[in-house]
Chain A
C-alpha cells in the first residue's frame, strides 16, 4: 500500500539548534514530493517541490533533499517564527486522476527562544 510517513511526530528545538525532519515514502512512480508549512488555524503554505533523487531546494533556513526512498527538511539555526507543522506529500502514477497528493501526518515543530 502506498504510504507517506513523517518523523518525528513532534520536535522541540532551542533557537539556533539545527535539526532535520524526515519524510519516507513507498509510492510507485513518484511524480513529485512536496513540502508545506501549516500554521495553526490556516491552510498549508507551499515550500518546495522535488522531482528526482539528488535534487535539493533551499529557502532561507530551510533546505529540502530527496533520495529514492525519503526526503529530509533540514532546518538550520531555527527561529521561533519557524514553529509550525510541516507536511510532506507525494504525487504518484497510481493516482486516479493524476491530481491527487498523498499527505503524511506532519511534524509539529516548536522552536523556543
Chain B
C-alpha cells in the first residue's frame, strides 16, 4: 500500500466519548501533520511532527492530543469534543527536503 492512509473515513461521536484518528504513510517521509478543514474556512494547521518530535502546535485545545510513535504513524486522540469540532481532519506527510505535502483522504468527524 502506498501514500497516506487515514482511518476511519467517517466518525460520529458524542461529546463525552474518547476516540482516536489514525494516519499511516508509506512514502518514507519524516514529517507528519494534522490539519482541520471546516466549511468556508482555510485549512487550519493543528500539529507538526518532524522526526517524531512535535515542532509546531497552533494553539489547539487540549481536547485534541497528538501522538507520533514513529515516522510512519500519527494519531489524534479526541476527548470531550464540542459540536464545533465537527470537520474534516486531514493528515499529511512531507520529506525532510520540503516539496509540499501528500495528504490522506481525511476523516469526516461529526460531534453530536
B74 within 8 A of A: no
B residues 39-56 near A (Cβ < 8 Å) are 40-43, 45, 48, 50, 55-56
A25 within 8 A of B: no
> What is the CA–CA distance of A32 and B97 in the complex, to the nearest angstrom?
13
A residues 64-100 near B (Cβ < 8 Å) are 87, 89, 91, 95-100
B103 within 8 A of A: yes
Most buried by B among A4, A45, A100, A104: A100
* Chain B contact residues: helix, strand, loop or mixed: strand
B100 within 8 A of A: yes
> What is the CA–CA distance of A11 and B16 in the complex, to the nearest angstrom?
41
Assuming the contacts A43-B105, A43-B106, asked whether A97 and B43 have C-beta atoms less than 8 A apart, the reply is no
CB distance from B1 to the nearest CB of A (A): 15
A113 within 8 A of B: no
Q: Which residues of B contact A54 (CB under 8 A)?
A: none
Residues of chain A having any CB pair with chain B under 8 Å:
4, 32, 34, 36, 41-46, 49, 87, 89, 91, 95-106
